[in-house]
Chain A
Amino acid sequence: MTKRKSPLVRIKESWRLYVLLLPAVLYLAIFHYAPIYGLQIAFKDFVPSLGITGSKWVGLKHFKYFISSPQFPILMRNTLLLSVYSLIFTFPLPIILALMLNETRSVVLKKTVQNITYAPHFISTVVLCGMVIIFLSPSSGVINTFLKMLGHEPVDFMTKEQYWRSIYIISGIWKNTGWSSIIYLAALSGVDPQLYDAAHIDGASRLQRIWHINIPGIIPTAVLLFIMNCGQIMSVGFEKVYLLQNSLNLPVSEVISTYVYKTGLLGAKFSYTSAIGLFNSVINVTLLLIVNKISSKVSDIMLF
């Protein structure tokens, strides 16, 4: 075995590895780290002709302006409600589906349900939202056709504030539950079958076996995913929210990311919206670190 060599020799010997890394490192430097450097415009009054470095510092002006603006409470409320509801309602479902798929004795049923529930994942967000809008159309939508058959008046769902969050969450469940269950199925396949047999011999019912063997088997995976989700609380997906928005549901559907797009890019308020974006990221990262810390204290499961 060779002795510990100096860094320079080691770099020289494996220069090829660095060449392989180069495109990725360069890409991140230009499209991730340069924008992070550019984030300083959140503390400046950005003027394109002066550039990022040349613009004048204004400290926390934009942050103060945002927090005291009338939109602030509405945006925070909409963003947090949407992502917290999504987390509560969508997080447990893939776990339940995976447990059920793991429990069925029929291979055909398992495979069929898996393939059917994976399919919506391959449909684009635009198509998904298009389907939602078409299905819920008050004149020709299939949902309203059913309502009419049951003797109800047709409802114009997309224009009613009270339905918007449910529409967002239910369509998300349809698209993602099957796909998200894959990771739990993988975790379940790692459970030692001998445990199962042993429990069976000791007289444990199926429900007891799920509770005492399967669920502990997937908790580490679930906790990790939960921590990662908490790091996304403030950034509900722009695409879907933006596509499902219309002027009538805007009071509940305007979230931080869509507001940043509209005022920042379309309204050209670069510094102001960068400040909002930064505010957003800081909350996300803080939440991620807090939940990670709590989890590592309570359960020894942590992201880093």
Chain B
Amino acid sequence: MKRNKKSQIKDSRNDRIFGFIVDFLLIIIGLVTLFPLIFVLSASVSDPVMVNSGKVLLLPKGFNLDGYLAVFENEWVLTGYRNSFIYTVVGTFLNVLVTFMAAYSLSRKDMYGHRLITIYMVFTMWFGGGLIPTFIVVNKLGLVNRPVVMVILGLISIYNCIICRSFIQTSIPYELQEAARIDGCNDFGIVWKIVFPLSKPVLAILCLYYALGHWNGYFNALIYLDDRKYQTLQIFLREILIQNSRVKVDDSVDLEAMVRRAQMAQVMKYSLIVVASVPMLIIYPFVQKFFVQGVMIGSIKG
């Protein structure tokens, strides 16, 4: 091979073709991934007749917001929305608090029993009692069908705790903590005044992970909640999207009206998907800038 005299090395012809193929494939991947999202969005603002007859393929046809009106007229959707919002906000706050506190202590290798406590926590990642014994315990504590169960269960994710611990260990200089100690600060003061303000990137990521879990999870609600007035949005979504329960009971005998209702119900599903997914899609851009910092440090190994 001949060396190029210029400092900027030129790509060979094959390399340029390779680069072109990579770019082309990335564009295809992007478009294919995007299509379902665009389709749902378009269908949600289209004329029900157009959607049901398969006329909507990519762009909205016959602009129409009735689907959204139907969503906001559905009292259970609103109840679920409110409940999920409360569980998400309260739950995420508690999650981040408990995780951060534990992560700080775990980051202190000088703490007596550090290794034992770490094993105690990490063990739960790989082995647990499973569904039934957990249910028996929760039931014994009288927490079944109590809304509080939704913020207590999953109080701490050990995986997230390890991410947070690694961040504290690697990105916050220990000398800073030592200096504060010499100035007369105790461990509480160090956590609150030194470590907490410097941990913003990882806290943002923990918030995202936990909030996503609360908002999108439906397992705990399915198992532990009975009362419809406590149920989460995802449970009602399941009824409407998957079990296909009729949104409104129809007592009219007018066939044409029934057909319209059925078509309406279909469009409402698309609107519902949009309404249910928007809160989390909105959070993401705010958290995104912390991603590089947070995820890299937290990688996998503690």
Give residues in A with beta carbon < 8 Å to B: 7, 10-11, 14, 16-18, 20-21, 23-25, 27-28, 30-39, 41, 52, 97, 100-101, 103-106, 109-110, 112-113, 116-120, 122-127, 129-131, 133-135, 139-140, 142, 144-145, 148, 174, 178, 182-183, 186-187, 189-190, 197, 200-203, 205-207, 221, 224-225, 228, 231, 238-239, 243, 257, 260-261, 264-265, 270, 273-274, 277-278, 280-281, 284-285, 288, 303
Contact indicator A20/B102 (Cβ below 8 Å): yes
Q: Shortest distance in angstroms between B297's beta carbon and chain A's nearest beta carbon?
A: 9
Say what secondary structure dominates the interface of chain B: helix
| Cα A21 to Cα B152 with chains together (Å) | 16
Q: Shortest distance in angstroms between A32's beta carbon and chain B's nearest beta carbon?
A: 4
Contact indicator B133/A186 (Cβ below 8 Å): no
Q: Decide: A116 near B284, CB < 8 A? Known: A100-B26, A239-B218, A277-B130.
A: no
Contact indicator B23/A106 (Cβ below 8 Å): yes
Decide yes or no whether B273 CB sits under 8 A from chain A.
Answer: yes
Contact indicator B104/A20 (Cβ below 8 Å): yes
**Chain A residue at minimum C-beta to C-beta distance from B141:** A30
Which of chain A's residues have a CB closer than 8 A to the CB of B299? 183, 186-187, 221
Provide the B108-136 mask, 1 if CB < 8 A to any CB of A, else 0. 10111100010011001011111111111
A33-B124, A41-B133 known; 7 new pairs, CB 8 Å cut-off, are A17-B111, A20-B101, A21-B106, A24-B98, A32-B124, A120-B36, A231-B126
Contact indicator B137/A261 (Cβ below 8 Å): no
Q: Decide: A127 near B30, CB < 8 A? Known: A20-B102, A225-B300, A243-B242.
A: no
Which of chain B's residues have a CB closer than 8 A to the CB of A183? 295, 299-300
Other-chain residue from A113, A124, A139, A202 in contact with B276 (beta carbon distance below 8 A): A124
Which of chain B's residues have a CB closer than 8 A to the CB of A25? 102, 117, 120-121
Please tell me which stretch of B70-78, B186-194, B252-260 contacts chain A, meaning at least 4 of its Cβ atoms lie within 8 angstroms of it. B186-194
Which of chain A's residues have a CB closer than 8 A to the CB of B126? 231, 284-285, 288
Contact indicator B102/A140 (Cβ below 8 Å): no
Interchain Cβ contacts under 8 Å between A and B, 13 examples: A17-B187, A38-B133, A117-B30, A126-B241, A127-B276, A140-B54, A183-B295, A186-B296, A201-B3, A206-B14, A221-B300, A260-B132, A270-B136
Contact indicator A124/B218 (Cβ below 8 Å): yes
**Chain A residue at minimum C-beta to C-beta distance from B188:** A16
| Cα A239 to Cα B131 with chains together (Å) | 13
